[in-house]
Structure formats: structure tokens, C-alpha cells
Amino acid sequence: CSSDLYEDHFDDANPWNRVQDYMDKKTVLPVKIEGVVNGGVIVMVEGLRGFVPASKLSLSYIENLEDYLLKDIEVQVIDVDQANNRLVLSARELLKEKEKAARDAQVASLKVGTVLKGTVETLQNYGAFVKLNGLSGLVHVSQISQKRVKMPSDVLTVGDEVEVKVIGIKDGKISLSMKALEEDKEKAEEKAEKVVIPKAEDIGTNLGDLFKNIQL
């Protein structure tokens, strides 16, 4: 029994077992970047030297790894190899989760019917993707204009600033329309035309009729 206790204590005291446990449980570890090496950075975990590859440090390409020196980051263990003294960590998955959570919150705050300004990001045969404050939505080719559009590139260019209306949100995907704004504008103009302002002489006549019926 005492040998079992000793074995458990020994296992727990072994930092390699602890980092293996961190990997199994996907534990989030706050670490400081201690050094920069070829292809990545060095951090210390449980007294062990861990390697974070440059590709696992950020969601985008890193121009200069030196910029990360002494930065505090959060990582997870992705590879443990005690025999070869190899401990590999990654920040990428955590950053992806944070980015997704931020995007989901932004999408949840969007309402159908909202009118926004955005920039044409990419053009496909089926429509145009428009960037809106960090989000991306699709203007389907049928929603670009009231006039028939064969190819989005016939009327739009990447980088164009456009005004769009949110017409649908499903499974985190945002559907946008430029055509709906044209229709809204036409309806507003039609409504304005229907409002007839009475002429001055009509107002005078109406007042005269009104006084005629009043017994003084």
C-alpha cells in the first residue's frame, strides 16, 4: 500500500505527467514568452521548456516573432513526448474560440431590417461578400439591384463602399440586400407624391365655409 502511495506521489511530482494531464483535459495555461527561436517561441510550463510554433501563436501571419517577447498569452498543450524532451503548445485554438464567440455576439446583436454601410470584400459568381464592422455578409446576385444583374463583377468592384439592408440571419450567416434599399426609396417617393398640399385659395374657402355656419 505504501509503495502505491509513493508511486502516486512520484507520478504527481513528475512534471511530464502534469503536462500530459493538461493535454488530456485541454487545460488553458497562462504563460509568458521567454524566448524566440527559429520557427517559434519558448515558454515555461511546470519548469519544462515548451515550444509554441509560429503557426500556432496567432490567427494571422507573424512578420516579426521578436514582437511577442515577454508577452503574456494563453496556451494549451498539444504534444507531450518525454522520451525526446518535447513539449509543444498552441494559442491558436483558444484565439479561434474567442474570435468565434465575439462574432456570434455581434451576429446576435444584428436585427433584420437594419441598414448598414460596408465594403465589398470578395466577388463570386453567385454574389458579393460585404464586410461590416468585422462581420461578413452575402449580397446574393438577385439582391444587388432591381435591374437584372448577370455577374456581380458587372456592377461591383472589390473595395466599393455600399449601403446594405439585413434581410436574413440564419446559422450565423448574414443575408444582405441592396435591392431592398432601392425598393424602400421608391416606396418613400411614392408616398411623398401622394401627400397633396392644399392651395392657399382652398384654405381661404374652407375657412369661409366654416365661419358661415357659426351663429354669432
Cα distance between residue 170 and residue 150, in whole Å: 26
Residue-level pLDDT at 11: 62
Contacts of 90 (CB under 8 A, 6+ apart): 52, 53, 56, 75, 76, 78
Q: Does the pLDDT at position 2 exceed 80? A: no
* 12 Rama sector, left if φ>0, alpha if ψ -120 to 50, beta otherwise: alpha
User: What mean pLDDT, rounded, does the chain reach?
Assistant: 86
pTM of the complete model: 0.60
Contacts of 175 (CB under 8 A, 6+ apart): 137, 138, 140, 143, 166, 167, 168, 169
Number of other CB atoms surrounding residue 16 within 10 Å: 16
Residue-level pLDDT at 177: 93
CB 91 within 8 A of CB 73: yes
Residue-level pLDDT at 197: 65
Q: CA–CA distance from 80 to each of 19, 22, 48, 51, 132 (Å)?
A: 7, 10, 11, 11, 41
- Kindly report the backbone phi and psi dihedral angles of residue 98, in degrees, each rounded to the nearest multiple of 5, phi listed first: -65, -40
Per residue in 154-209, pLDDT (tens digit) is 999 999 999 999 999 988 889 999 999 888 888 888 877 776 666 666 655 565 66
Task: Tell me the one-letter amino acid at 114.
Answer: T
